Amino acid sequence: MGELADNSSGIAPLLPPMFDDACELTGFPRDLEIWPLAEDHSGGNLEAVRASLRAAASHGNWLWPDQPVVFVSDPHADADGFLRSLVASGAVRRRGDDFSLTAFGNTAKIVVGGDCLDKGPSNLDMLDALRELIDQGADLHLLAGNHDLRLRLAIRGLTMPRTPLTEHLFVRMGRKILPLLREIRTRYVTSADLARVPDEKACRKKIFPSRDWVETFPVAAAPYLTPAGIDKEMRKLKKKSKQFAKQAKAEGLTMRELYAAALCCHDLFLTPGGAYSWFFTAMDVIERIGSLLFVHAGIDDAMCDLLAHQGSKAVNARYRLEAEKDPFSFYSGSVANLVRTKYRPVDGLLTEEGVNALHECGIKMIVQGHVNNHRGQRILSKRGLLHLEGDVTLDRSSRHLEGLPGIGAGATLIFPTGDVVGLSSDYPRVKHFKPEHHLVEIHHA
């Protein structure tokens, strides 16, 4: 058990008032403890974290945000989990189906760490909640997650001119977006829309890659993937083709309905003026705030170099250019590695050189989502770089599969004072991290 944190030194309050009118968060933790970095559920390798803290400290002092930051990640189409998290953070007050920003919420920067889509129960409800926050004037920053980009790549692959590198993308990426397409079919697709698409057989032909794809893809993909990578992609496509057809049937979608919904989705999300076009327009792939780099998954050496020499605007500009221009090479490259890496051998490399580049330009810690945690946030060292994992498994679908009860709630709060707190309904206390406190521990160890 971690020691209770002392919050009596006159610093700004670390736990803003929580307005839980619906009593959904009864018993939510409010007592602070020093972040238990040695415990597996909160870090696990204390010496590695201390080494990363020393390395970060050797490049100067931490630079903290000018305003409080509320980080919530991986809501996965569960608006209730997302809004409960904002209530728990003190940023939002809920009254029935309505919510409003609190005084604290109006002063905070809210960073959503990606993966707003998929899993359920409703993608459109989640998007509508984000839109309402924006309309209320929230300082909201959206980061791209792999599940969000899956929608973008799938729809682009279906609607752009077919090539060996793009004609498989809808099936390759699309199985997990089928629930969203079912929602689009129900809410937006009209009988006139259905009348404009061809018959079932023709729609299936448009959705699935051509028969000669197995011959044409390896040649086209050779500049982007190794032979092993090409083989893996083809094996995945074969497996996902079977899953896709089965899942579409389970969602109650014919090929005609699916194709019509996908075209409608293109109009809604990827066409200027579409009802949800703001979602990808507002989305960046990284957000730098002082010494912190917010990103969905992680980083590799190539992105470290670009960030260190040209800044975060250059990284986000490259993301927008590549995602729009060349979907396949984009998803195979370093920019998309930011949304999908788990530092596996198949992912982009992060080496000591990349970590040093970040430290030298003042970045000391990655704040990320992407990795499900069951007992609140974790702070750990990955490849020698501090990472704060902020995905606390909010959505009810993931929680059911992973044996967690109900709907989750949790957020990471980062204050101008250099205090970082981790809130989670799955951990009995609020975790409190302050780098210099742990440096003092290092000095006396």
* Six-digit token string for 438: 């742990």
Report which of 74, 169, 173, 158 is spatially closest to residue 394, judged by C-alpha positions. Answer: 74
The CA distance from 316 to 309, in Å, is 14
Going by C-beta distance under 8 Å and a sequence separation of 6 or more, which residues neighbour residue 55? Answer: 355, 359, 384
**Per-residue model confidence as pLDDT tens digits over 32-58:** 999 999 999 999 999 999 999 999 999
Q: Is the distance from CB of 163 to CB of 273 less than 8 angstroms?
A: no
pLDDT band with cut points at 50, 70 and 90 for residue 439? low
How far lies 48's CA from each of 371, 379, 380, 385, 435, in Å? Answer: 19, 11, 7, 9, 14
Mean pLDDT of the region 82-103: 95
Angle between helices 255-265 and 200-207 (to 10 degrees): 50
User: Does the pLDDT of residue 2 top 80, yes or no?
Assistant: no
Q: Which of 7-16, 143-152, 216-225 has the lowest mean pLDDT?
A: 7-16
The CA distance from 48 to 349, in Å, is 19
User: Does the pLDDT of residue 321 top 60, yes or no?
Assistant: yes
Determine how β-strand 69-72 pairs with β-strand 410-414: antiparallel
pLDDT band with cut points at 50, 70 and 90 for residue 436? confident
User: Does the pLDDT of residue 8 top 60, yes or no?
Assistant: no
Radius of gyration of the chain (CA): 22
User: Does the pLDDT of residue 374 top 60, yes or no?
Assistant: yes
User: Does the pLDDT of residue 12 top 60, yes or no?
Assistant: no
Q: Cα angle at 93 between 87 and 99, to 5 degrees? A: 110
pLDDT band with cut points at 50, 70 and 90 for residue 326? confident
The CA distance from 144 to 296, in Å, is 7
Q: Cα angle at 373 between 368 and 374, to 5 degrees? A: 155
How far lies 106's CA from each of 63, 98, 101, 103, 293, in Å? Answer: 22, 17, 6, 5, 22
Q: Cα-flanking dihedrals φ and ψ of residue 326, to 5°?
A: -145, 85
The pLDDT assigned to 11 comes to: 39
* Six-digit token string for 108: 């905070």
The pLDDT assigned to 444 comes to: 38
